[in-house]
């Protein structure tokens, strides 16, 4: 197996002592040594899935396996990924988080089920998985996670960018950060998405932050052109340097998008444009208070 | 698979940018360019006509699947998969392992209302061998995919012949098939592919119906040979990693080596289909456009020029050159640092931090003290792929010291 060299390992002192050297929890002790994987070798650990990590600024993975002393076939595989930033770590966490998993208090946010625990803290995304058995006691996972959490930088909490979604309509823990091709469109290079309930309907809201108002208008134009080329009937209005768009998106159905300063704010899968406008207004206010950089 | 290792760490559109900044006409001659420009390029904002689906038969399964099928591993939005299915793609590949099962959930959402029009392939966990593990994996996949049957269940990432013959695994798979939960059996392999495919053919029971293999324009001839034998034995062959790593299209103007690479794989009639990973609509359009296109002279030129553009810069990090250096210079690590500086990463910081890891006594500076020269008066260290090591070390001293 290819893995990062000892030099890579030494180069990142922040990851040197993240994983407990002996026991992770109770009777669960480390087999062999920790293994490091960098951008060149991540494929050896997770194969093509590595590509998901790169847009999120993946730098290094430290990995270890903790086997049960009574039954060595049962083990916990622990992976700690050093990502580009806090929002990147959150983005990876949200990619893997499943709606039916239980929230757990570890790191900035975490979820647990019988075979897996996920959390992120600072710029680190942590995955713990049961192997050789269907399930592992949750307190074992939790104890191990807490140990790792103590070894990671503390205090960062959730990304500030998520405050933009602090409106009543947004469904809790549905937020995602997409580092590439928001909504599956390459012309939306990155952005935030979340589910929202409005008028009894489940819709999706999104925010595309750009570097400038000009850049946001360019993104808006790209989307407009794409919709036109797709044969969608598009209605564009403008007011005070702001643009609004209503159309039927080929992938998502009814859509409303507003260009507001250096942001695009949008809602997809909507029935009533009025409701989408209300959501956009609420998100706008949040962005005024908590801008996304 | 060697290429995949070499290119690991770069996504498919990032690959090496070095040497690719030339114009399109530098890559193709005039007529070839005109020919290519007609069918390359398919950005989202351009009008796009979806091609008529092209099908091939997947070995003895008898399933007629689209030659460009959907690798879902990297797709976060089910709507992108749905669009593909609505335009005729009829085979989707996922795995229990991808995103810890969440990828199967995404595929499950995409299948809603379309299940009868789509063949679904997934994979058990790579470590699963026992009866209990296999049955558990399949049951979990069925739940995540929101379906009551899987068309092709594949053993994930076989690296030797041993796993082809595990009786317990076969017992579990047979039971699942008898219950109607799976229809056909397959394997996937990236490493020791010749051994794994040969094992499938050696198997008197011919238990496995399909094989998902890494196959691209840089593959060794031995891979193509064993694929031909397996196809002749009526094992359905699907190609993955057809891109040998990844590319960036922007630097190549409207010419996409990605499409050329996909066509290269599909020109082999022993390959039933390829399953490129598609992150977004642009990638889907780029891939699907290839259906029905022949591999032409223009494609050959693109791949030749592309390989040629990359080769002088690209170090496979095999480390064999280090045995030929009398000063013990860590040539491959230095080349890796250079790749960080000049390749897709464009990160001087990463390059310098990598370079700093090297002991001074093994750094590129040591070359200045070296008196060993060959008959032509140049560095005695030799690269099996023909890289100019002396020039690389000099470049490292300029950029990284």
Note the pLDDT of residue B309: 66
Across A221-250, average pLDDT: 91
Same domain, B151 and B201: yes
Q: What is the mean pLDDT of residues B363-390?
A: 84
For A232-241, B75-84, B179-188, which range has the lowest pLDDT when averaged over its residues? A232-241
* Every domain of chain A and the residues it spans: 6-151, 160-289
pLDDT at B126: 87
pLDDT per residue over B358-374, tens digit each? 888 889 999 988 888 77
Whether B332 shows a pLDDT value over 60: the answer reads: yes
pLDDT at B190 over 60: yes
CA–CA separation, B235 vs B210, rounded Å? 5
**Residues B101, B183 within the same domain:** yes
Q: Which of B98, B247, B313, B340 is catalytic?
A: B98
Could you please report the per-residue DSSP string of B61-97?
G--EEESB-EE-TT---HHHHHHHHHTT--EEE--SS
- Identify the residue with better confidence: B359 or B87: B87
Q: Is the pLDDT of residue B49 over 60?
A: yes
User: How far apart, in whole angstroms, are the C-alpha atoms of residue B70 and residue B277?
Assistant: 7
Dist CA A164 CA A88 (whole Å) = 16
pTM of the full structure: 0.75
- DSSP per residue, A257-283: EEEETTEEEEEES-S-HHHHHHHHHHH
If one counts the domains in chain B, the total is 2
* B271: confidence class by pLDDT, cuts 50, 70, 90: very high
Binning pLDDT at 50, 70 and 90, where does residue B10 land? very low
**Within 10 Å of residue A214's Cβ, how many Cβ atoms?**
10
Domain A6-151 has CATH 3.40.1000: yes
Asked which of B38-47, B134-143, B226-235 is least confident by mean pLDDT, the reply is B38-47
Residue B78 in domain: yes
In this structure, the answer to whether residues B267 and B330 fall within a common structural domain is no
The CA distance from B347 to B330, in Å, is: 20
Q: B285 phi and psi, to 5 degrees?
A: -65, -40
pLDDT score recorded for residue B36: 42
For A124-139, the pLDDT digits (tens) are: 999 999 988 878 888 9
**Average pLDDT for chain B:** 82
State the best of B7, B13, B77, B362 to mutate against chain A, taking most chain A CBs within 10 Å. Answer: B77
Among the listed residues B43, B50, B45, B77, the one whose alpha carbon sits nearest the alpha carbon of residue B66: B50
pLDDT of A15 strictly over 50: yes
More confident residue, B23 or A86: A86
pLDDT(B247) > 70? no
Query: Cα(B23)–Cα(B170) distance, rounded to whole angstroms?
Result: 54
Final residue of a structural domain among B308, B339, B355: B308
Q: Which comes out higher in pLDDT, residue A283 or B38?
A: A283
Task: Tell me the C-alpha to C-alpha distance, in Å, between residue B232 and each of B56, B225, B235.
Answer: 14, 11, 7
Element (H, E) at A251: none
User: In this model, does residue B20 exceed pLDDT 60?
Assistant: no
Question: What would the two tokens of residue B24 be?
Answer: 């399109």
Residue B37 has pLDDT above 50, yes or no: no
Please tell me whether residues B230 and B273 are part of one structural domain: yes
Average pLDDT for B216-232: 92
Interchain pair B281, A185: CB under 8 A: yes
Interface test with A, best of B76, B94, B341 (most A CBs within 10 A): B76
Is B98 considered catalytic here? yes
In the predicted structure, residue A143 carries a pLDDT above the cut 70:
yes
CB contact under 8 A, B279 and A180: yes
User: In the predicted model, what is the mean pLDDT of residues A57-76?
Assistant: 93
pLDDT at B27 over 60: no
CATH of the domain at B127: 3.20.20.100
Residues B143, B53 share a domain: yes
Is B79–A252 a contact, with Cβ atoms under 8 angstroms apart? yes
> What are the residue ranges of helices labelled H in A184-230?
213-229
Asked which of B4-18, B73-87, B133-147 is least confident by mean pLDDT, the reply is B4-18
Residue closest to B287 by CA, chosen among B299, B276, B297 = B276
Average pLDDT, chain A: 90
Do B92 and B134 lie in one domain? The reply is yes
Q: Choose between B147 and A115: higher pLDDT.
A: B147
Interatomic CA distance for residues B310 and B315, integer angstroms: 10
Instruction: Decide which of A87 and B42 is more confident.
Output: A87
User: What percentage of chain B carries pLDDT values higher than 70?
Assistant: 79
Q: Which residues contact B126 (CB under 8 A, 6 or more apart)?
A: B97, B156, B157
Do the Cβ atoms of B78 and B109 come closer than 8 Å? yes
- Selected residue with higher pLDDT from B141 and B394: B141
Report, as an integer, the average pLDDT of A224-231: 92
Confidence of residue A10 (pLDDT cuts 50, 70, 90): very low
3-state SS, residue B185: strand
Domain assignment present for residue B260? The answer is yes
pLDDT at B294 over 50: yes
CA distances A293 to A94, A186, B374, Å, are 19, 20, 56
Q: What is the pLDDT of residue B248?
A: 47
Question: A250: distance to nearest CA of chain B, Å?
Answer: 8
Give the C-alpha separation, A227 to A24, whole Å.
52
- Reduced to 3 states (helix: H, G, I; strand: E, B; else coil), residue A111 is strand
Candidate ranges A51-60, B99-108, B180-189; pick with highest mean pLDDT: B180-189
What the block records as the tokens of B41 is 């390029």
**Residues B355-389: b if buried by 16+ CB within 10 A, e if exposed:** bebbeeebbbbbbeebeeeeeeeebebebeeebeb
Query: Which residue from B45, B46, B277 is facing A51, i.e. has the nearest CB?
Result: B277
End-to-end CA distance of chain A: 39
What are the start-end ranges of the E strands in B242-380?
Answer: 273-274
- Over its C-alpha atoms, chain A yields an Rg (Å, rounded) of 22
- How far apart, in Å, are the Cα atoms of A34 and each of A43, A63, A150, B159? 17, 6, 18, 23
Which CATH code for domain A160-289?
A: 3.40.1000.20
Q: Are B100 and A127 within 8 A, CB to CB?
A: yes
Q: Which of A41, A42, A181 sits opposite B279 (nearest CB)?
A: A181
Q: Is the pLDDT of residue A165 over 70?
A: yes
Q: Based on the fold, state whether residues B239 and B345 are members of the same structural domain.
A: no
Domain identity same for B276 and B341:
no
Percent over 70 (pLDDT), chain A = 95
Residues 141-200 of A with CB under 8 A from B: 178, 180-181, 183-187
Same domain, residue pair B267 and B162 = yes
Give the highest mean pLDDT range of A45-49, B27-31, B108-112, B393-397: B108-112
- In whole angstroms, give the CA distance from residue B298 to residue B31: 9
Predicted local distance difference test score (pLDDT) of residue B4: 32
CB A181 within 8 A of CB A51: no
**Would you state the structure tokens that stand for residue A247, as one six-digit string?**
């159309």
Are B172 and B294 part of one and the same domain? yes
Cβ–Cβ under 8 Å, residues A121 and A153 = yes
Half-sphere exposure of A115 (CA within 13 A, CB side): 14
- Asked if B75 contacts B81 with a C-beta cutoff of 8 angstroms, the reply is yes
CA A68 to chain CA centroid, Å, is: 31
For residue B6, pLDDT over 50 is answered with no
**What's the distance, CA A145 to chain centroid?**
19
Examine the domain organization and report whether B289 and B391 are in the same domain: no
CA separation for the pair B86, B69 (Å, rounded): 13
- Structure tokens belonging to residue B270: 């022993």
Query: Among A164-173, A267-276, B20-29, B270-279, whose mean pLDDT is lowest?
Result: B20-29
Domains A6-151 and A160-289 share a fold: yes
In a domain? residue B281: yes
| Same domain? B149 vs B211 | yes
Angle (CA) B358 B362 B368, round 5°: 125
| pLDDT, position A22 | 83
Say yes or no to pLDDT of B42 above 60.
Answer: no
Q: Are strands A102-104 and A109-113 parallel, antiparallel or unpaired?
A: antiparallel
What three-state secondary structure class fits A91? helix
Confirm whether B339 is domain-assigned.
yes
Q: How confident is the model at residue A269 (pLDDT cuts 50, 70, 90)?
A: very high
Domain containing B371 equals: 320-400
Nearest Cα to Cα of residue A117 among A153, A141, A86: A141
Q: Cα(B109)–Cα(B121) distance, rounded to whole angstroms?
A: 15
């Amino acid at each position: 197996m290819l893995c990062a060299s000892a030099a890579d390992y030494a180069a990142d002192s922040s990851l040197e002592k993240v994983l407990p050297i002996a026991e992770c929890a109770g009777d669960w002790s480390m087999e062999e040594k920790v293994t490091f994987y960098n951008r060149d070798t991540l494929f050896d650990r997770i194969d093509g899935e590595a590509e998901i990590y790169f847009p999120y600024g993946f730098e290094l993975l430290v990995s270890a396996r903790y086997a049960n002393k009574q039954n060595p076939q049962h083990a916990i595989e622990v992976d700690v990924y050093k990502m580009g930033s806090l929002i990147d770590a959150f983005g990876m966490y949200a990619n893997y988080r499943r709606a039916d998993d239980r929230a757990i208090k570890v790191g900035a946010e975490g979820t647990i089920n019988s075979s897996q625990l996920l959390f992120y803290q600072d710029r680190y995304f942590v995955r713990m998985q049961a192997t050789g058995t269907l399930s592992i006691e949750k307190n074992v996972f939790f104890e191990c996670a807490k140990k790792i959490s103590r070894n990671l930088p503390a205090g960062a909490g959730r990304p500030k960018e998520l405050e933009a979604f602090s409106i009543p309509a947004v469904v809790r823990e549905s937020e995602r950060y997409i580092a590439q091709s928001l909504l599956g469109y390459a012309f939306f290079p990155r952005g935030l998405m979340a589910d929202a309930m409005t008028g009894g309907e489940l819709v999706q809201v999104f925010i595309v932050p750009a570097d400038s108002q000009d850049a946001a208008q360019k993104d808006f134009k790209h989307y407009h052109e794409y919709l036109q080329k797709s044969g969608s009937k598009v209605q564009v209005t403008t007011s005070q340097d702001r643009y609004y768009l209503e159309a039927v998106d080929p992938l998502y159905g009814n859509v409303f998008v507003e260009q507001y300063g250096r942001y695009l704010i949008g809602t997809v899968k909507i029935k009533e444009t009025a409701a989408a406008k209300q959501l956009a207004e609420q998100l706008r206010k949040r962005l005024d208070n908590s801008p996304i950089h | 698979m060697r290429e995949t290792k070499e290119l690991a760490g770069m996504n498919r559109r990032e690959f090496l940018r070095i040497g690719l900044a030339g114009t399109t006409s530098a890559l193709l001659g005039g007529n070839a360019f005109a020919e290519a420009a007609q069918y390359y390029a398919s950005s989202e904002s351009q009008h796009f006509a979806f091609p008529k689906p092209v099908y091939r038969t997947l070995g003895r399964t008898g399933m007629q699947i689209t030659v460009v099928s959907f690798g879902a591993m990297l797709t976060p939005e089910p709507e992108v998969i749905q669009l593909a299915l609505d335009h005729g793609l009829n085979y989707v590949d996922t795995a229990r392992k991808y995103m810890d099962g969440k990828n199967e959930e995404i595929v499950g959402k995409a299948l809603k209302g379309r299940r009868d029009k789509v063949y679904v392939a997934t994979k058990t966990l790579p470590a699963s061998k026992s009866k209990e593990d296999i049955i558990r994996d399949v049951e979990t996949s069925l739940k995540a995919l929101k379906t009551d049957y899987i068309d092709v269940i594949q053993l994930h990432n076989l690296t030797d012949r041993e796993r082809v013959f595990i009786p317990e695994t076969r017992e579990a798979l047979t039971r699942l098939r008898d219950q109607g939960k799976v229809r056909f059996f397959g394997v996937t392999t990236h490493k020791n592919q010749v051994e794994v495919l040969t094992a499938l053919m050696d198997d008197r029971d011919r238990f496995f119906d399909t094989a998902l293999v890494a196959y691209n324009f840089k593959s060794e001839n031995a891979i193509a040979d064993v694929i031909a034998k397996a196809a002749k034995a009526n094992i359905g062959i699907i190609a993955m990693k057809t891109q040998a790593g990844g590319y960036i299209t922007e630097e190549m103007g409207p010419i996409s080596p990605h499409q050329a690479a996909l066509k290269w794989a599909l020109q082999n009639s022993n390959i039933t289909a390829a399953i490129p990973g598609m992150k977004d609509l642009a990638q889907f359009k780029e891939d699907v456009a290839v259906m029905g296109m022949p591999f032409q002279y223009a494609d050959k030129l693109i791949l030749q020029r592309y390989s040629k553009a990359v080769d002088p810069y690209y170090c496979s990090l095999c480390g064999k050159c280090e045995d030929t250096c009398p000063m013990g210079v860590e040539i491959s690590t230095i080349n890796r640092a250079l790749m960080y500086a000049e390749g897709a990463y464009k990160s001087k910081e990463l390059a310098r931090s990598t370079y700093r890891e090297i002991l001074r006594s093994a750094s590129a500076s040591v070359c200045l003290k070296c008196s060993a020269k060959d008959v032509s008066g140049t560095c005695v260290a030799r690269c099996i792929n023909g890289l100019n090591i002396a020039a690389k070390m000099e470049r490292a001293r300029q950029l990284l010291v």
